[in-house]
Each structure stands twice: as C-alpha cells, then as structure tokens.
C-alpha cells in the first residue's frame, strides 16, 4: 500500500474545504485503524478542538445503543414498537388509504427508515411552510416527540411499513427510537448516551445539548447566515442533539466499527442498502449509511465502501474498510455545500492511500 498522507497534504485538503462560497470553517480528523497515523486540522473560522453540533451523526450513536440493548437481550429489531410505546403515541401513526398499519411497525422499520412514517422536518405546517425552511430562516422552536406526532399524524404515510424497495429518510423514526430507548432503560436520552457511550469511551468533550444558554458549540450556518437554534437543538436529542469534537467523534467511530458495542460480525447485518435521493444521494441500511461513490472517481483503484453517517450541519463520521481509514469532522454549513466539500476531501485522502 502506497501512503501519501502527510501533514502538508492534509493541511492543504482541509484548507480546500473552505474554498467554496459560504463554507466558513472546517475541521478534518483522519486516522488509520492500526493507529499508525492520526491527524486533525482546521481551516477558516474553526479550530481543531472546537466543539460542534454533530447533528444526524447522532443517529449512529443511536444505532450503537440499539444494538447494545439487543446484545443484552433487552430488545430485538423485529419487535413491534407498540410493545414499548404508549397507545396514544402509536395510535394513528400510520394510516394509509384507510388501512391502519400502526401496530405493524417494528424497531427495524424505524432504524432502517422503512417505516413509511413521514419526516416531520420535511412536512408543511398549517401555515404552509416546511419545518426545515422555518428553521433555516432562523425561526427557532422546540420539536419534541409529542409536537412531531401531532404534525405527522395529519400527513399521509409514504408507503406500507417494510414495503419492498421503499425507503424514506425520516427524523420522526429516530424521535420514536429515542422514546423506546428511554422506556426500556428508564433513563432520559441524555442519560442513555452518557451511560452507554460517553462514559464508556471516556468522551470528555462530548455531551447532549440541553442548556439553551450554552454557546460553546461553534455557530451553524445556512448559506451566508449564522444559524442560532438553541430551542430546536435542545429538543431533538435522539435525532441530532449531540455536541462533540472531531477527536472525540473519532474515538466513538472506531469503537463502533471495532466491536465495542456489539459483535463485530453484526456489521454485515446493517448493510441492507437502499438508495436514498433526499436529502442527498446515498445508501441507507440498518442504522448505517454508505456513500455513493461512482467508479469514475477512481477507475483503476475502486474506492469501495465508505460507511458511517452524515449530519445536516455538514458533520461527518465515515470509515473506509478497504484502506482501514477513518474520517470525522464538520464543515458547519447546513445548505449542502458542506457535504460536497467534505465528500471531496475524503475521496482525496482515500486516493492518496492506495
């Protein structure tokens, strides 16, 4: 294996991540699985140890906890969610063409985004505006589970639970998973993450965002505007409420893929891929994402799998098993431009290790 990684190469890579308009800051951490190489750097208005919102990368932490609970025989993926949620939550959550499928939904349907339950984040409210657009325009408000259910129960489900070939990215699924984990453990989601992950891995720079006066995380951006959403970020713990650093996220990512939370061989079970086209184009499995990497990106030396999770904030945590290389960091831009720059940086590094 030829390894062209060095500090100069990676410094140039992270600097390039902020060259696009409205990409104001970036952090990139790169490590090899054997610990022979570890580097973290930053560009723009961010420093390498800055805490940031990992957003939907939080969902990978949910996957770790769900599979840990399964390894302890406290749940099974095939269990009906009605076994763990109150009747008022489940009732009417999935009524399609006058048929009520609510009691057929399983934990696996939620964690694989195959429940058909709409994503509240993409739903229009009574004022005709989507939740996402309101938030990106700076209208800060809490979106706890009960409020979410009040909205989505008025929406038409996307498809039958587990319908073959169907997948729909839905933050609602993860809010429901959060309540299920709380009911199983008797802990709040903040305590669940603290107990199962943060304490277990000694992640001293990682926490759940709960204090709306907390200004430690670097500011998010949507296009050219700074985005201040303390009410929202403090209310969505299981779908995107974790604050961390690139180095702490790296500790978690390596633990996830190295069998800390569940038997390593269970990873293959997560690779039940279906293509998602929104938000962005990637594959979704069972609580795990795989990047779409066309062969043309590296014709002579295929990229192979890049596994992990994106965050709406431009946060990322991915692993390329072929070269045993891990990536964490953020570009802190919610518009999608951040994701593009982070993707190009990861591909550039992967091609340098061949």
- Spell 98-128 as b/e; 16+ CB within 10 A means b: eeebbebbbbbbbbbbbbbbbbbbbbeeeee
CA-based nearest residue to 193, from 329, 54, 308? 54
Please indicate, yes or no, if residue 279 is contained in any of the structural domains. Answer: yes
Token representation of residue 156: 């038409």
Residues 163-184 have pLDDT tens digits of: 999 999 999 999 999 999 999 9
Residue labelled with tokens 């409205």: 22
The DSSP 8-state label assigned to residue 99 in this structure reads E
* Residue 219 within any structural domain of the chain: no
Burial of 6 (0-12, 13-18, 19+ CB in 10 A): exposed
Question: Is pLDDT above 50 for 29?
Answer: yes
Could you tell me if 61 and 308 are in contact, meaning their C-beta atoms sit under 8 angstroms apart?
no
In a domain, 171, yes or no: no
Using the predicted structure, report yes or no on whether residue 354 has a pLDDT greater than 80.
no
- In-domain check, residue 307: yes
Q: Which of 351, 323, 309, 261 is nearest to 32 (CA)?
A: 323
Q: CB of 18 within 8 A of CB of 314? A: no
pLDDT value for 294: 86
330 vs 332: CA distance, rounded Å: 5
Residue pair 116/159 in contact by the 8 Å Cβ criterion: yes
Q: Is residue 317 part of a domain?
A: yes
310 strand-pairing partners: 316
Q: Is 343 a member of any domain?
A: yes
Q: What are phi and psi of 252, to 5 degrees?
A: -65, -45
Residue length of the chain: 354
Residue 73 located in a structural domain = no
Residue 329 belongs to what domain range?
7-58+243-352
> Does the residue 19 lie in any domain?
yes
Is residue 298 very low, low, confident or very high in pLDDT (cuts 50, 70, 90)? confident
At 125 the pLDDT is: 93
State the total domains in the chain: 1
pLDDT of residue 1: 46
Kindly report the pTM of this predicted structure.
Answer: 0.97
Q: What is the pLDDT of residue 344?
A: 95
What are the pLDDT digits (tens) for 113-157? 999 999 999 999 999 999 999 999 999 999 999 999 999 999 999
């Amino acid at each position: 294996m030829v390894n062209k990684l060095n500090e100069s190469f990676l410094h140039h890579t992270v600097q390039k991540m902020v060259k696009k308009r409205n990409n104001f800051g970036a952090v990139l951490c790169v490590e090899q699985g054997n610990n022979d190489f570890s580097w973290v750097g930053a560009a723009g208005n961010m420093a390498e140890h800055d805490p940031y919102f990992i957003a939907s990368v939080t969902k990978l932490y949910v996957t770790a906890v769900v599979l840990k609970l399964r390894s302890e025989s406290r749940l099974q993926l095939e269990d009906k969610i009605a076994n763990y949620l109150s009747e008022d939550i489940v009732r009417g959550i999935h009524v399609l063409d006058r048929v009520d499928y609510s009691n057929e939904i399983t934990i696996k349907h939620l964690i694989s985004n195959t429940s058909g339950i709409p994503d509240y984040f993409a739903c229009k409210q009574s004022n005709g505006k989507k939740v996402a657009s309101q938030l990106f325009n700076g209208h800060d408000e809490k979106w706890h589970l009960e409020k979410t259910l009040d909205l989505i129960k008025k929406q038409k489900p996307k498809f039958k639970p587990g319908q073959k070939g169907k997948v729909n990215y839905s933050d609602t699924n993860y809010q429901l998973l959060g309540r299920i984990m709380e009911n199983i453990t008797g802990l709040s989601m903040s305590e669940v993450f603290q107990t199962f992950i943060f304490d277990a891995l000694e992640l001293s720079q990682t926490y759940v965002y709960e204090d709306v006066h907390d200004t430690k995380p670097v500011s998010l951006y949507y296009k050219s505007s700074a985005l201040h959403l303390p009410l929202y970020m403090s209310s969505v713990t299981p779908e995107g409420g974790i604050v961390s650093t690139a180095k702490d996220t790296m500790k978690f990512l390596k633990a996830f893929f190295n069998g800390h939370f569940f038997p390593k061989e269970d990873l293959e079970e997560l690779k039940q891929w279906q293509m998602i086209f929104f938000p962005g184009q990637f594959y979704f499995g069972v609580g795990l994402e795989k990047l779409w990497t066309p062969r043309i990106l590296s014709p002579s030396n295929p990229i192979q799998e890049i596994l992990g999770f994106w965050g709406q904030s431009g946060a990322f945590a991915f692993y390329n098993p072929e070269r045993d290389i891990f990536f964490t960091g953020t570009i802190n831009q919610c518009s999608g431009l951040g994701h593009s720059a982070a993707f190009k940086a990861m591909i550039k590094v992967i091609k340098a290790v061949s």
